[in-house]
A = this chain, B = another copy of it.
Amino acid sequence: MAETLTAEAILAATEEVLRRYGPAKATVVDVAKALGVSHGSVYRHFPTKAALREAVTRRWLDDIHAHMAPAFDQGRTTAEVLRDWLQRLFDRKRRSHSEDLELFTTFKVLVAESSVVSAYHLECLVGQLTSIIAAGVETHEFVTDDVESTAQAVWDATLMFHHPAHAQEWGNPHVQEQFDAVVSLVVDGLRYNRVPSGTGDA
């Protein structure tokens, strides 16, 4: 038996309870029961149920952020790095959706609950995109006058392949082709030798 109740132990128990009962049924009392303490003790570490759920969500998202990391292998074009990063993100979300639908649904609800946490998630991943695009600008492979908003545009344009609202389409047999088509369009849009707007004749 643990010396004293820690925030980490509560988070682990909460994750387990959420996995077992789902987001609609999981209660603070359940978490306390799993830990063998009274539910009042849980409130010494987290001020509200919402804060507890938010902390669990942040913990789960940080795991994604860590696994998505940079990935600037030597000898690859920035376009390849970008394509690979987007593909890895898509694969990770799609696998999570198909292999553990209940857990995926649980975290979809949790993320939707807190705009703070979803803003944090967005900031982390668009930040990674920004560093990739900045690298492309450095090598003159990409051109843009605003790296930040271009990174946001790449994020927005690929929404269908990372936003949980569209998860049901990830099972479609042609979704990989759709992904490739969108990413090709976006990568072409980032490339250096674009012509001045409105005079694109051969």
Which residues of A approach B to under 8 Å, CB–CB?
A: 77, 79-80, 139-142, 149-150, 152-154, 156-160, 163, 165-166, 177-178, 181-182, 184-195, 197-198, 200-202
Contacts and interface: CB of A to CB of B under 8 A. Distances in A.
Given A77-B200, A157-B158, A181-B152, A189 B192 contact: no
Contact of A178 (B141, B156, B178): B156
Contacts of A149: 177-178, 181
B201 A192 contact: yes
Contacts of A185: 150, 153-154, 157, 185-186, 189-190
**Copies of this protein in the complex:** 2
23 contacts: A79-B197, A79-B198, A80-B198, A140-B201, A141-B201, A149-B177, A149-B178, A152-B181, A154-B185, A156-B181, A157-B157, A184-B189, A185-B186, A186-B186, A187-B189, A188-B188, A188-B189, A189-B189, A192-B200, A193-B193, A193-B195, A193-B200, A193-B202
Chain A interface helix/strand/loop/mixed: helix
